[in-house]
Copies of this chain bind each other. A is one copy, B any other.
């Protein structure tokens, strides 16, 4: 039996609620299997900050680094909470983890499940993955301001893009595209305006494409890509894009494929130097926290991505099939967070292969 050291960061708002269900799914998928999880819970997020003044200490970071993988719920306090002004939990915690753990692939699949009513598309039409760069672009925190608060203020933000950083994520995206039935890759950027960054991305994709003659490659400006996500999502298979464009496109992708409550993600360090981190795309949703009404599906989907990352393809598939089956039979009766979690966990167990 392999033991995986799993760092669990429930976080704020609905984070702990959806993580509890994700862990049920993880347990269900791995009973009697060759893998077991040794979990450590980390109290991080807005609540911890309000209590102790810490966002993420060096000790926290070192402890997290000693794990094999991370499951995160959601972090962030109530918007506008004056006690959080200046804290920036997102930058200090979420982005710090992505950067320090070199999560250069932010993997965000979009599937429209059978049974999901989307006004925009038919089930089967939507089945793409966004490979969002995770460690560069306008997210580097390389901004600054002068004369802050005066009429002469100038506030800059720098998007940093390197051949090193772009090539590794583009290679990952091509390998992924080559492994999928449709073998298509779309680069999304804004090369006509961001000419330097855009040129680097475009040249890199063109060069790596030569090694993947089986992959069809196309290019869209980010503005046009939002149109096609609405009018023709079926045209996408693998999208590779920069950190900020990926952020925007994946929320939109969630909206067109059954809602952000279903969108799972993995922040992946493919080299295995650091633990990868799995989290729902949604935030902490403080407005519905504590009511037991949050949809844990995105967190459970993130468990599937975690299992696949750990090489447990069969278990990952069971989790995904259980989600698909659950979603297909969702009626109009509202279920609680834990009802959904229990029912998906039960399905995962029922799908257990005969030999175990």
| A193 touching B139, Cβ below 8 Å | yes
A88 touches B192 (CB 8 A): yes
A43 in contact (CB, < 8 A): no
A284 smallest CB distance to B (angstroms): 12
| Bound CA–CA A186/B260 (angstroms) | 21
Give the oligomeric copy count. 2
Asked if A151 lies at the interface with its beta carbon under 8 angstroms from chain B, I say: yes
Point out the residues of chain B lying under 8 angstroms from A180, CB to CB: none
**Are B149 and A155 in contact, CB atoms less than 8 angstroms apart?**
no
Nearest-neighbor residue (CB-CB) of A90 within chain B: B192
Among A91, A151, A200, chain B packs the most CB atoms within 10 A around the CB of A200
B197 adjacent to A260 (CB under 8 Å): no
A248 to B242, CA, bound (A): 14
Q: How many residues of A contact B (CB 8 A)?
A: 61
Q: How far is the CB of A82 from chain B (nearest CB, A)?
A: 13
Residue of A79, A197, A219 with highest tally of chain B CB at under 10 A: A197
Interface flag for A181 (CB, 8 Å): no
Complex CA–CA separation, A260 to B95 (angstroms): 35
Complex Cα distance, B257 from A240, in Å, reads 27
Stretch at the interface among A28-36, A65-73, A158-166: A158-166
The 8 closest A-B pairs by CB, nearest first: A223-B251, A143-B196, A153-B163, A226-B252, A119-B119, A155-B196, A230-B255, A155-B200
Given contacts A143-B196, A145-B196, A153-B162, 20 further A-B contacts (CB under 8 A): A88-B192, A119-B119, A150-B163, A151-B163, A152-B163, A153-B163, A153-B200, A155-B162, A155-B200, A156-B196, A159-B159, A190-B247, A223-B247, A223-B248, A223-B251, A226-B248, A227-B260, A230-B230, A230-B255, A231-B255
Give A residues with C-beta under 8 Å from B. 79, 88, 90-91, 95, 119-120, 138-139, 141, 143-145, 147-164, 167, 190, 192-197, 199-200, 203, 219, 222-224, 226-227, 230-231, 244, 247-248, 250-252, 254-256, 259-260
